[in-house]
Amino acid sequence: MNDEEKEKDGVMLSVAPYLTLGVQLAATVVVFFFIGKYSDEYFGTKPWLMITLIMVGVVGGMIKFFRTVIELSKKEENERRGKI
């Protein structure tokens, strides 16, 4: 494996955790949407539980998103400091 391939692999390994963040955020919102939709049908409160749970999903997903980005940034910074 030459230096160029090693560098490419290193970049992919450092970027990989960030690639899943969008999927995690979208999945959280979709899951809460379906929970709200079925809860509305069961309790007859259409569309209030769906709207409420979508908002919970968005807020929770964004909190998780930012916490993960901060954690990954700190980890990356610590690795950089270790190499210097």
Question: For the segment 19-59, what is each residue's pLDDT rounded down to a tens digit?
Answer: 889 899 999 999 999 999 999 999 999 999 999 999 999 99
What pTM was estimated for this model as a whole? 0.80
**Annotated domain spans of the chain:** 3-83
Q: What is the tens place of the pLDDT at every residue in 9-21?
A: 777 877 888 888 9
Residue labelled with tokens 């899951």: 31
pLDDT in the model for residue 1: 66
Burial string for 47-62 (b: 16+ CB within 10 Å, else e) reads: eebbeebbeebeeebe
pLDDT recorded at residue 40: 96
- pLDDT above 60 (res 71): yes
**Mean of all residue pLDDT scores within the chain:** 89
